[in-house]
Structure 1
Amino acid sequence: MCAKPYELDLRAGRPQAEGKTTESRGARKSAASPARELGGPLRGTPLLAALALAFPLAAGASTYEAGFNSNAEGEMSVAVGVNLSAFGNYDVAIGSWVDVNGSSSLIGQKTYSTVVGSESNVEGLHSTAVGSYNKVGWTASHDRPTDGSSAFGYLNTVYGDGSTALGLSNSTSQDNSTAVGSGNKASGSASSTLGYGNTASSAESSALGYSNTASGQGSSAAGHRNTASGENSSAFGSGNTALGLDSSAVGMGNLSQGDYSSAMGMGNISEGAYSNAMGRANKTIGAHSTAMGSGNTANGDYSAALGHENTATGDGSIALGDTNTADGDRSTALGQDNAATGESSIALGDTNTAGGEHSTALGQGNQATGNNSTALGDSNTAALSGTAVGRDNNAFLYGTAVGMANTAGGNSSTALGAMNHADGNASTAVGYLNQANETDSTALGYFNNANGESSTAVGSGNTADGDYSTTLGLSNQATGISSTALGHTNKAAGSDSTALGTDNTANGTASTATGYNNTATGGGSTALGANNAAEQDYGTALGYRNLAQDTYATALGSGNTAAGASSTAVGTGNNVAGFHSTAVGSGNQVAGNNSGAFGDPNIVTGAGSYAFGNDNTIAQDNTFVLGNNVVTTQANSVVLGNGSADRAAVAVSGATIGGKAYVFAGGAPLGVVSVGAPGAERQVQNVAAGQLSATSTDAVNGSQLYATNQAIGSLADQTNQAIGNLADQTNQQVRRLDNRIDSVESRASAGTAVAIAAASLPQASFAGEHMISLASGTWRGESGYALGVSTATQNGKWVIKGAAMGSSRGDIGAGVGVGYRWR
């Protein structure tokens, strides 16, 4: 079939035909068309031909053909049944193998196509094809006219322009494509396809229900087996994939793979860029990742993985609830099996580990293992910059472990409350079963133990074991070096020892042991008040059952013994036993060497002997006795007052007086000056006859004076005067010595009276109580007084006390003490 050129005059509303007018198969063709007469808005439209068939208003209508092999060709063509064609102008072809050629370069310019049934075809302009094997721009070359395209039911294909294809095997390719139901494809440009085998392949693609694919640019693919492949992708429900750029894949088998990804519900994966994968088996691997609920993984960049099997693996990691891990960088892992493993780690609640860098691990099975660690509540461990707070704590390095089974294990250790040890370096261990074991150790309250270096152990079962030891209250020991042990069962055992109150022992080297059952045992020993002993080295044992026994021994008040070396024993039951001996007041015995013994029942027993007052006995050597019931019997004697006696040393022979020779009996005696006895005489007597020569130092006796009375005449008065002066001087010296002995005895008694007064002071007993108290004491006619102030701390554990004392001898003193109380 061959088309004829024609044109439509749209302004006049009339078709202008060129060439012949034809009729065929029971239909007539004429230049006059009933449609012409209709005018108005219907004029010049394809509908006119159909109206002319149905309602023939007048004869002579322009082209129209009906039945079987119909063909209408042009102008206001209509062709009605079976193998139809209409080719051009106002084409209408109705029923079975239809061709309508609405616009092509060869036939039917300026046409308004429509095809209604069976093996439909349409090419061009305002195309439509309604039923069966529809095509619209159908040329095999694809260089096709389609224009305002549509094809409605069955095997539709449309190609371009304002494309639409509605039902069954739809396809359109490009321009403003839409393909609605069944085997849809729309392939590009402003594509959309709606239901079943959808594909839309790019440009402004969309593909809606069932086997969707949209592949790129403005892609969306909605329900079931969705894929959208990039650009502005979205793929909504079921087997979703969206692969990149502005991707989103919403419900079920989601994957979105990067760019501005999101993948929402069920099998989510989103692999990077501005990732976000929400509910169920989530994963997003990096960039601005977030993965929300269930099998979460986010693997780095600005990661967060929220609920259930979380992992976030580094960069800005956070992993929130259940089986959390965050693996470093700015890690945080919150609730249940947390681990955060390093960098700026925090791991919060349950089986926490934080693994170093700026670690913190908060509640339950905490470890923080290293760098600036902190591990807070329950089974804590920390290391490096340490701190582990509550329960089975353990801290190491820069230590601090606070409450319960603490260990801080050295370096800058502190371990506070319960079963503390701190194990050295700058250790401190505070309350309960403390140990601190060395370097700047301190262990404070209860079962303390500090074991050396700069040790201190304060209250209860203290031990400090040497180095710069100090222990304070209760079962103290300090065992050497710069030891001090203060209150209760003290021992200090050597070096610069001091042990203060109750069962004191100090055992040598610069020892001091102060109050109650003192022993100091050598070194620079001193042992002060109660059952004192000091045994050797620099001795000294002061008040009550003193004993100092040798080297620079001194033992002052009460049951004194000093037993040799540079001994002194001052007041009451003295016993000295030789060497540079001295014993001052009461039961003196001295037993020789450079002897002494001043007041009361003295016995001296030889050597450099002297005994001043009361029941003296000396047993010779360089004897000297001043007064009271003297017994000696010479050696290089002097015996003066009271029951004095002694004899021997006589032998004198010869003298010459006034030029006449006299001979006296006797030799040259060594010993005896005695003023008193046997008839209690008090003259200088029992004097050996002295030599009268230029070199003589001897005293003269009465018989020598008688022989020389005549010769010396005028010297008699002078001699008598000299002897009188000597007696006066001697008496004065004796009186002074008596006064000094009395003074020493009085001061010793006054000191004992002061000690009694101080011991009688009451003190504060109850928590928070304060007390001022006054007491006095007396001993052997002397008196002492004491004024005390004391206070007990608010917890009732510590008592602090100070006192000032004075005696009837005008001496004053002061003391201060501290005590720790427990049950």
Structure 2
Amino acid sequence: MNKTYRTIFNAATGKLAVASELAKGSSKSSKRAAVLTAVSAAVVVLAAPSANAANYNAGDNSSAGSSAAFGCTIAAAPLLPAGCSPSNNFNLTQYGTAVGESSSATAGVAYGDHATATGGLGVAVGNYSFASYSATAVGTGAYGEGQWSTALGRSAHAASNTAVALGGGASASGANSVAVGANSVADRDNAVSVGSTSARRQITNVADGTQANDAVNYGQLNTGLSTTNARIDSANTAIAATNAELSTTNTTLAATNAGLSTAQANIATHTINIADINKQLGELSSGTLGIVQQNPASGAITVGASLGGSTVDFSGSGGLRKLTGVANGVADDDVVTMSQLRATGLIDYTGKEVGAVTYDTGLSFDSVTFAGSNGTVLHRVAAGEISEKSQDAVNGSQLYALQEKFGDLSGRVDDLSGRFDDLSDRLGDVEENPSAGRPGTGEGSTVVGEGADASGRNSSAIGNGSVASGDNSSAVGNGSVASGDNSSAIGQGSSASGKNSSAIGQGSVASGDNSSAIGQGSVASGSNSSAVGQGSVASGSNSSAIGNGSVASGNNSSAVGQGSVASGNNAVALGAGSVADRDNAVSVGSAGNERQITNVAAGTAPTDAVNLQQMNNAVSSARQDAMGGVAAAMAVAGLPQSTQPGRTFMAMGASTYGGEYGTAMGLSYMTRDGKWTVKAAVNTSSRGEVGGVIGGGFYW
């Protein structure tokens, strides 16, 4: 359809319609002019049919309820209790999965800060995104409000049930409506919109329509305005031959759905792996996993309880270590303290063994000194009282009994020492193997993996060589990098450098602010852009590329389908291999690979598309108007005139042409001198139009 157009009246539909600025309307005034011309020239003047703009309805194969779900893991509450990791990046709500700060999901999936999936089976991907029951919302601020609705793109809004909004800022408020392209508005039920009242788009690469509710292209409209019924019938026959292309379209859509299913499966696998890693980190932090564990109920600590080994070695590279803070032993296999050993009198206060009974001369005690350099043996010493206040000496039998007890205690101490040696070895293993999990360099950060680095606040780096340098960022996968604030990079070698960006898939890149790249090798470099599918690229601002190898390089552009390209600004490419290279245009194919647009409802507004039935009706109406005008002209032409001087002559006539009929009545007069003749006539046709004519002549 034309970018430049004007409004004319269509008598067949009884409404105003839009046509090219070069097309003539079939209004009452234009048809009177046609009749006058027919009367004077007695030739057929074909009035141009009304022109209308493109309109879309949802196709029979549309399925608003089937959409991609990203990172969903639904499990019963005992397996995944509600809670949040220290980084506030992984929120798990009852029967759903929520990833992002302040995100929530009820029996659905929410991925992104403040993302919400409510009502069950909803999928919300992107910061501040919202999905209701069975709805899908992908993009920052995307809002799937209606049940079974789909909103793809930044701030896209699908407000009604089964509505679809594709593109940044797109809005679909009509029930079962479809808004295609950035900032498009679909506010009528069962309608497809590719723009808004202030920003309209062309629909390019449209194949000739063949069915009553198919869209027509500009070429068909011009042909219908300028050809006869025979040419129209021939064109209809040629258009009917293109129906075979519908099977190709269905095959392409099936391939696109298969690609989206593969992307969903990959994302689900990543989500399960992340949940398992988080579970192990939580168990290690709480003391329920590892060599050293603590009973959460009793507080008792065990060392290698489920492992072998008979010694525990506390020595380190600097030598032996002291074990401090030990309570006095009470059971046979408890460790004794120095205070307990001193109480036996076997060692002094310095920890040295006592070899003779003597007092330190530096103390004010009575002293007992045995002569002789070899010491003195005391025989027949009675068993002294052993009590808290006793000052009695003990004899050999008492010491022997005590020695036996200490021998048994020594064995137990040796056993305990072996166990502590084993604990020391295991703690050393933990220090040498950082992949078991440790705090990162950033405040509140977490690191898991050899060479992983989490320098951003509340960040998480999981995987060998992974880097999470942005605040509140997450890097999951070997070599993954999340450098943008509030960014997420999931997959080996993935990179999320834009603020609030998400890169999901091996080698995926999300460098634009508020961008999302989902799929192996996908790239979202434009701000507020979304790339979904292997190798997809969304480089334009507010652009969306959905499908393997799809490219959306124009600002506010959308490319949907495998290999589709939208390079024009505010352009939309729909279907595999479609190309939209003009600004403000919608393409459903490419040069040599055009498609039909089927199931198009009759247009009602000036900017709506017309279907083939509407065009045929308009052409038929214009043809009948022309036939009626010719019949009326023939009736006037057949009126005789006065041939007698001074006499007035009244005449009537009727005619038929092309199935229409006309009638005429006229008066004529010849002057008395026979030199002048004047006449006037009125006519009408079966189309209901009335005309008039007046003329005169001179004899010489």
TM-score of the aligned structures, taking structure 2 as reference length: 0.28
Greater relative CO (CA pairs within 8 A, separation 6+): 2
TM-score of the aligned structures, taking structure 1 as reference length: 0.25
